[in-house]
Amino acid sequence: MKDKLNHIAVLTSGGDAPGMNAGIRAVVRSCAFHDIKCSGIYRGYQGLIENDFEVLNARSVRNIINRGGTFLKSARSKEFRTKEGRQKAYENLISQGVDALVVIGGDGTFNGAVVFNEEHDFPIVGMPGTIDNDINGTEHTICYDTALNTVVEAIDKIRDTANSHNRLFLVEVMGRDAGDIALNAGIGAGAEEILIPEEDLGTDRLLESLKRSKKSGKTSSIIVVSEGDKIGKNIFELAEFIETNLEDYEVRVTVLGHIQRGGTPSCYDRVLASRLGIGAVDALLAGERDIMIGTVHGKVTSVPFKEAVAGRNKIDLDLIRVADITST
């Protein structure tokens, strides 16, 4: 890498999530602070291939810290998965005079960065932006806190109608491979059961739990189900299974879906994204590369991309115990 950075580009890739705009803003304003040219790349890696760059300055990112989504747009690029596509992307970075790249996204984004660097030896630093909180090497990802608050608010409203009609509601939340949203939102919303990919509850235990709830006097219940739960049934099949085996229950299903990705980012996510954005530019100025910026014990730190995508943070067993006790 050059001794002096003159030009940094930033992009968002993969699923959009609230807090990404705050992260972009921090990168752009950190560049302005250090008198470094900054460009935004629209539509992630696909925009990089199509040379969709725009020079940004401190005023370009005014009034976006409170906005959900990403003003740079995002996309999943099939072309970037090809060697030819990555070659085009590299040539565009060079033609634009870009010295280093900041990418905001999840494990797919970082895997793309790993392959790109292996082929072209280009300085890249990542910022974890995903609602699933499933990136290794950081305690929290940008957008996770906002998604949690969205889910808890939705479940609170569902509980009102569940209580009014003495119904059992199954609420599906995002988390194909990670149960962080389901577990934490389930505890926060007072769910009677929480089904996550990391723990196979089993249908027999679930039925026994619901029977105990009924005997204890509960007239309505909420079960939070992560979309990647390993119980062996999709949420509609699970609802049918419960009604077939427990005739006392009237079951309804709510799939929260993409509502979890929208909305105004929480204060926590805005601050986290700002810290990580400045940390990304600081790391590049210090000569670091091929790393992800995250937080551990509240401090901004970095881990190699390969470590960030090698696995995910383990589920907190203490939280599972809290869920078991508080659902009694």
Active-site residue, 121 included: no
Cβ neighbours for 149, distance < 8 A, ≥ 6 positions apart: 266
| Paired strand residues for 195 | 225
CB 135 within 8 A of CB 204: no
**Plot region of 133 (φ>0 → left; ψ -120 to 50 → alpha; else → beta):** left
Can you say whether residue 94 is alpha, beta or left, with left for phi > 0 and alpha for psi between -120 and 50 degrees? alpha
Helix %, strand %, coil % of the chain (to 5): 45, 20, 35
Task: For helices 180-189 and 144-165, give the axis angle rounded to 10 degrees.
Answer: 50
> 33: Cβ–Cβ under 8 A, 6 or more apart, which residues?
none
User: How far, CA to CA in Å, does 257 sit from each of 64, 83, 248?
Assistant: 24, 34, 28
Residue of 16, 99, 107, 132 marked active site? 132
Contacts of residue 247, Cβ cutoff 8 Å, sequence gap at least 6? none
Q: Measured between alpha carbons, how far is 22 from 143 in angstroms, rounded to an integer?
A: 10
What residues act catalytically? 132
